[in-house]
Structure 1
Amino acid sequence: MKFKVNQNSMKKILFIAGLVSTMLLAACSSEESVVKEDGKVNAAKGITFRLTEEAFVPGVTNNGKAGAKGTRAIETQTVNLGNGLVAEVSLEPDTADMAPAATGVTRATVSDGHYTIYAVDASNVRHDGIKGTMTSGVFTPDVAGQEWFLNGGETYTFVCINDAVTDNGTGLRYTYSMPAGINQNAMIGVTTHTVSNTEHDVVAFTMRHQNARIRYQVTSYTTPCVGAKFGIGGSVSGTGYGITDYDVKGTQTARSGGFLAISFGPITMTADHPMTYSSIVETYKTSTPYVYYPDAFPLMYAQYTMSSGTLYGESLQAKVFPTALMNSTTLQKNHSYVYNIKVKPSVLYLFQDGTVGTLADKGTRTPIGVVVKEKTATEEGTAVALKEATVSGNNDFTYSTPYGSSSMFATTNSTTYADINDGQNDVNGYKWTWEAASNPHDHVVKANKYQDYTPYYAAGHYVPDVAVTGANVGHWYLPALGDWALLFKALDRWTPTPNTTYPKSGTFPWDKTKVNAAFTAAGGKGLFAFGPYGYLIYWTSTEYTQTMMFPYLYGISGNTINIDANAKHNITGKVRPFVHF
């Protein structure tokens, strides 16, 4: 008995992606019933073909190393991009828009393209079938009215290919060539099905990818990379690259090709979403479209060049990236990878509206501080003021406590610290400045009392040069020793070396030019810029365990900062306020 498939109507042959079976069958139910005449099945009913596309799964990296596990990033390499930009480069499993890495997982839509379907019977005889174009899930046959006869009740191997795969009549071949290959998503679907002589017959294909794919991506923060392009080049010699052969039933039989040249680009990179201002550091992923590589390709033979574009206000210089980090990776079909170039800004600023960003993307915003701790969805951020605090024209502050009074010798913080090693963990400057409950001496808010708590008052009454409109910007406060540590960790380094015989004091190196540039670039004032004796003191709000000892910082003409402690009454210093946002 013959089963007749008539392509004269879109309702008679349907290519459906991602619909449930009941919907597929409903598409046929409105047509006339199957009518048997002279032993044949009425072909007007047709077969419904369902195409789903195999989901790419996160790529396996470091698969050349003994005992390596699959889905993890290869160790990063640091690359100098020029113009003060430094990137961490890594090859990572791609998890964007992924289904779980499980056998048989498919995606709901099938890629647009031109498809060919044929059938092979149990005697290995091929029966040419139908061809057509898939656009947004709608299949349009190449030839209207074409008929395709198959025997009802007979089992066939149905094969579906897209045009990246060549049909030789007796077999299939996929040839990876440049530049077309880099855009080709070669797919082959194979299914065994017994043709039914009932009304409802559905042949389902899972279209399986024959290539691996990679996105080349710049990851940046607070602003996307703009105008960047990415080029790919290289070559590989040897056997097994570029040509894959299959038998008529779609089973891979051989891989060949002695030399494969790769040259493509430049590819324009686009950001995953438009730039927006935010108090939380926004992450942007600026990527190329997916680039396809043949199965088993050793990635170390590809070379990548980024050219043009701007990021954080700096022009990107042409840069050839090293391939050493991919020496151990051989690409696998149906696996997806990200070549990630992560570039962090050297300095982030807090703006008057409570958002953060770089100076290059400030727009109409005005910076009021340097970010030393980023805000997250669960933790507040911290910034340091661009300038020192001033009260009534004065910016040198001594505790206005009468010498010998009880306040001079009192412990005024509910927690004290033994020495520098202990005290550098104190990030409670806001608490010591604004919470009365943290003051066991007289239970007052220090920021509101000039007498006895002058530096706290100066910090708490700090006013930036522009009105602050961000509701998330809190009260300015006198930083604790750990707050100062955040500052230097963010901009340079913090490695104090305590004096072992006098643990309340110590030193640590700093890059004065680098740190101060963060402030002066935004119209602020550098730290430790001057002092009456060649150094400048800054107050902290930390208290050491020893009575009346308050650590303070001071810098001299060299690139060294000193930490020392003394009675609060005897020292005059400056106040550099901090704020949470």
Structure 2
Amino acid sequence: MEKISRQLFLVPFAMLCLALFSACSSNEQVIPQNPQDENSTIVDLGNVKFDISEMPFGEDTEDKTRTAEQPLMADTVVLSKSVEAEVTLERERTPVTRGVKHGLSDGAYRLVVYQANVFKTQVGFTVAGGKIAYLEKLILNDGNYDFYCCNDKVEFKQGENKFKVEFDNAATALIGSIKNVHVSGVRQTISFPMKHVGTRIKTRLTALMPFPNEGVQAKLVSVPNGALGDMIYDIPTGVYSSSKLRTLDFPASNYTKVADVYDPSLKANIYAMESSEYRYVLLNNTLTNLMLQFTNTGQLYRKAMNSYGALRINSSTQYMLAGHSYVLRVKLKPTFRYLFQDGTVGYLRDKGNRMPVALVLNNNLGIALTDSHVGNDYVPSYSSGGVLQGNWSVTGQRDNDRLFQLTQWNDAITTTTSGAHWTWAAGGTYNHANAAHNGSKGDKREVYPAFYWADAYREEMKNKCVSEGKLFDSNLLTQKGRWFLPSVNEWMYLLKNVGFSNPNSLFAPGGVATGHPISVWYNILIVRQAFMVAGGAPLWDDTDPQGRYYWTSTEGSLTNKAYIITVRPDWNFFLSDQKKNLTGFPITYTKAFRVRAFVTFSNTAIHPHSGGSTEDGWAGDPDQNISGDDFEIDL
């Protein structure tokens, strides 16, 4: 068995140098007075008096200051392909009390005396109801002594000069010591703190969505033989060791809802739960051997929590110290795939030197990380100079090859024709008498500002790659056609797969959309995080309650209207219609109109305009169903 050595100061023995004098010589038992106060127990041997106190777990971090400590460790753990955990371990800060110490718990205790590392004598006493119920006497000659006190959860091996604590007593075993105490004839009271040999840990969970209604359960386990099975302290050498190992497999703990926790990165409160109990282990367990396993079948982020992998604490150097109280904070969050500048797709944890350019919504569709802008203008306009026009088009006529009823919206929501068709395919534009209005809308700022704005994001990403010296996929960032103004249907992938909402909620009870602005709840926490962790921006302005109005490429049955998506910071996602030409509207309103480009990344080697093609660049029908959504199974 490997011997684990540490200096004596790591053992929970208080080492004080205090004077003690000879005890009385009576052979009778001494029944002392009641304790003087609730913070300690007085063990009065006549001419010898010990003021013994029991130090609670975590007394070293009594919350006397508001200054936050740095976590002992921090890590990100992959629990599944689509769920990660941000993990920090901290010492629990106990609340300020009248005194962190208290009198001894009921039970049997032993006071052991050594001189020059040689056993001299021992006495026992019992505490019942906070009072000393039984006490043996102590007689010592003048000299220097070491005193040890332990409760009945600690085994004293006199012949081996050792103390031993079994794992099952990690929660209750107490030991204290006073070393090199000079005994003389002067009456004194000796302070004698007792500390826990074990250490404890509890778990606090946070998430960006409500936890399962049926509750959360998880258990603390270890790798095989990953925990100390006992603790042995050798008195002469001051070294402690373990004679055996064990595998931890605590019963599952239930978690209870606690107050929401403010997350500064999200600028909002997030959901929180806490384990209902502490788990206790012996001192000097290595944290890297411990794991948290979820056992409940309820879903979080559309995955059963018991399907998550074990959350292993990654700290090879941090030991759990005696008497300390720890909090394992676990922030559970969904992870998403991203499209990178080189045309590849993957998770940010694997990005290396690649630069994300879009958030993936399904197997071949992504959304830009920021709003499009031309120069400094984010509001689409047919002329430069900072005019906040916000226009979809300025023709005053029908512009798409297909219109969608404004009295009911089910067709607009469910029709899978891509906005790429209406942005780039010449056939996607209605045949106008004015030839200048025909052809690809994405090339015509003066006529179709919103469509022109969609491609501006591609140009911005290309320029960024050039300035940073990054190689990029020319089909993705050089050639026009991959980035486009999305349809209503394509926005539904954002609503469902990132907003964790249900697009069907936009329908009236009869299954038909009403034609009036209708809202549906969506998870702003997840949406914000999905963009911001990749260096992007959310879909709203926190300071503007009206939110942002995003143009879609879906045109209404009235020739002067198109559909817009309204995304607000109050958890509401709206579908409605708006006039295509906003010239003359108040600037306080038009300033909120934006374009967030979408991108197709399947078959990116095909140039959308090659060979005189009038289609949008896909190998098949431009109205093909954008399928391949794998988020409902694994984000």
Kindly indicate which of the two structures has a greater share of residues assigned to strand: 1
TM-score w.r.t. length of structure 1: 0.48
TM-score w.r.t. length of structure 2: 0.45
